[in-house]
Amino acid sequence: MEEQKKISQAEMKVMEKLWERRELLTISDIVAALQEDGEEWSHQAIASFLKRLEDKGYLSSTKKSYKRSYFPLISREEYNRQEAEKFVNQKFGGSLKKFLAAFSGNKSLSKDKINELKEWLNEFDD
Residues 62 and 16 in one domain: yes
User: How many domains, the chain?
Assistant: 2
Q: In this structure, how many other beta carbons lie within 10 angstroms of the beta carbon of residue 50?
A: 23
Q: Are residues 15 and 45 in the same domain?
A: yes
Q: Rank 3-12, 53-62, 96-105, 113-122 by mean pLDDT and report only the highest.
A: 53-62
The string of DSSP codes covering 16-68 is HHHHHH-S-EEHHHHHHHHHHTT----HHHHHHHHHHHHHTTSEEEEEETTEE
Any domain includes 3? no
- Within a domain: residue 65? yes
pLDDT at 106: 65
pLDDT, position 22? 87
More confident residue, 56 or 120: 56
Q: Which residue has the higher pLDDT, 66 or 27?
A: 27
Cα angle: 48, vertex 50, 56; to 5 degrees:
105
Give the single-character DSSP code of 2.
P
Q: What is the CATH number of the domain that holds 62?
A: 1.10.10.10
Indicate if 45 and 96 belong to the same structural domain.
Answer: no
pLDDT at 4: 66
pTM for the full model? 0.75
Same domain, 66 and 93: no
Do the domain assignments include residue 2? no
- Residue 94 covered by a domain: yes
Say if residue 83 is in the same domain as residue 116: yes
Is the pLDDT at 17 greater than 70, yes or no? Answer: yes
Q: Which domain holds residue 49?
A: 9-72
Question: Is residue 96 a contact partner of residue 88, using CB atoms and an 8 Å limit?
Answer: yes
Which of residues 105 and 29 earns the better pLDDT score?
29
Span 25-52, pLDDT tens digits: 999 999 999 999 888 899 999 999 999 9
